[in-house]
Amino acid sequence: MIEKIQISTDTGNSTVLLGEGLSNLIAYLPDTKIIVITDNVILKHYHTYFSEYNLIEIGTGEQVKTLDTIAYILEKLVEFEADRTSFIVGIGGGIVCDIVGFAASVFMRGLRFGFVSTSLLSQVDASVGGKNGVNFQGYKNMVGVFAQPEFVICDFEMLKTLDEKEFISGFAEIVKAAAIRNAKLFDFLETNYSKALAHDLEAIHYAISESVKIKAAVVEADEKEKGERKILNFGHTFAHSIEKIYGIRHGEAVSIGMMMAARLSQFKGLLKEEEVTRLEKLLVNIGLPVRLEIDKPKLLDAMKKDKKRDSEKINFILLDKIGNAIIYPMTIKEVEEVINDLC
C-alpha cells in the first residue's frame, strides 16, 4: 500500500510517496519537457524505466558533489533547451538528490523538480526536507538552497539492488530519528532490526515512515534551521568532520558521530550510561561502526570550520534520554577538554 506524507513549508509543498514504484513515475510527471538526472550506477540498473526522457548522467561519490557538477548539469540543460516550463527528475541516492535539487533551483531561477529516492539513507532523510546543496572547498554542503521537491517516490524494491554496506549506512539516519524524537521507534528497532535488515516489507515500511514523519514535522516547524531543525544534526557535527577527514560513508560517520554525541551527553550529566550502551548496542547489531581511531587535532580543526558554528560556539545536539534531543552550545575549547573521553 502506498503511504503519502505531505510536507508544507514556506518554500513549497512536497509529497513523499512511500512504497510507490519507479515504474509508476509517469503518473507524477506534468505534460512538459522532462529531464532525468541520475548517476551511472542507477543508470546501469534501471535505465529501461526512464529511457524515453532527456537524460543527464553524473558520477558517484562525494567528490562529484561540487559546483563543477552543477555547472555541467546547467550546460546540459541549456543543450536540451530546458525552459521555465521544464520538469527535472532526480533519480538516485542522497548525492543525486542534493545535486539535482540545487541545479533545478538555480537554473532560470528555479524549475519544478521531483525525486525518485533510491537509497535507504535518501528515503529516510536526504530527499526529504528541501535542503539541497554541494560541498565547497572540502566542506560538506557549504553551498545550497532550500527548495522542496514536488514529490519524492520511495520505491522499497529498489533498496534490494543497493550495496549491503550502503543499505546498512542508511540505518544510521533511522536510528538518529528515533534517538532524537521517537523512543517507540527506537524500541521497535531494538526488537526488529534483523527483519528490517532482511528487507521485511512491513518492518522497512514502518521504520522509513516513522523517520520521514519525524523529519516532516521538524521541517514544517522550522524549515530554515533557525532552531528546532538543528536537532536533526544529532551526531552530524562530528560526522561531517569525520567524513571530510576519513572519506567514509555518510551513515557510518553519523553512527560514530552519534556515539561521540551520546558520550558527550553522558559527560554533561544529561544521559544515563545505560542509554549510551543501548545506542551503542543497537548500532553494533545493525552493523554500523561506533568507533574510529581519530586524529583529534585534525577533527577539532575541521569542526572549527563547520558551517553549523554560531560565532564562538558550536551547537551540539545532545540527548537527555533516548527519544529526546536538546540543543547545547559549546565552545571548541570545552570540546577539546573532553575529546579524549569521546573518541
Ligand X SMILES: NC(=O)c1ccc[n+]([C@@H]2O[C@H](COP(=O)([O-])OP(=O)(O)OC[C@H]3O[C@@H](n4cnc5c(N)ncnc54)[C@H](O)[C@@H]3O)[C@@H](O)[C@H]2O)c1
Binding site residues, ligand X, CB under 6 A: 39, 41-42, 45, 60, 62, 65, 92-96, 98, 118-119, 121-122, 125-126, 129, 131, 140-141, 158, 161-162, 166, 169, 250
Which CB atom, from 208 or from 271, has the smaller least distance to ligand X? Answer: 208
Which CB atom, from 250 or from 263, has the smaller least distance to ligand X? Answer: 250
Output the smallest distance, CB 31 to ligand X, in A: 28
From first CA to last CA, the distance across the chain in angstroms is: 43
The closest residue (CB) to ligand X is 94
Give the C-alpha separation, 315 to 329, whole Å.
Answer: 4
Which CB atom, from 219 or from 271, has the smaller least distance to ligand X? Answer: 219
Which CB atom, from 41 or from 111, has the smaller least distance to ligand X? Answer: 41
Instruction: Name 12's Cβ contacts closer than 8 Å, sequence gap at least 6.
Output: 130, 147, 148, 150
Output the smallest distance, CB 34 to ligand X, in A: 20
**Strand partners of residue 91:** 38, 116
Which CB atom, from 66 or from 285, has the smaller least distance to ligand X? Answer: 66
Output the smallest distance, CB 320 to ligand X, in A: 24
Output the smallest distance, CB 247 to ligand X, in A: 12
Alpha-carbon dihedral angle through residues 247, 292, 125, 139, given to the nearest 10 degrees: -40
Which CB atom, from 159 or from 189, has the smaller least distance to ligand X? Answer: 159
Give the C-alpha separation, 278 to 183, whole Å.
Answer: 12
Give the C-alpha separation, 151 to 321, whole Å.
Answer: 34
Give the C-alpha separation, 3 to 19, whole Å.
Answer: 7
Which CB atom, from 122 or from 315, has the smaller least distance to ligand X? Answer: 122
DSSP 9: E
Joined together, the cell numbers standing for residue 261 give 554525541
Give the C-alpha separation, 213 to 271, whole Å.
Answer: 25
Output the smallest distance, CB 222 to ligand X, in A: 13
Task: Give CA 234 to chain center in angstroms.
Answer: 12
How many residues appear in the chain? 343
Which DSSP string do the residues of 264-293 spell out, in sequence order? HHHHTT-S-HHHHHHHHHHHHHHT------
Output the smallest distance, CB 198 to ligand X, in A: 17
Output the smallest distance, CB 243 to ligand X, in A: 8
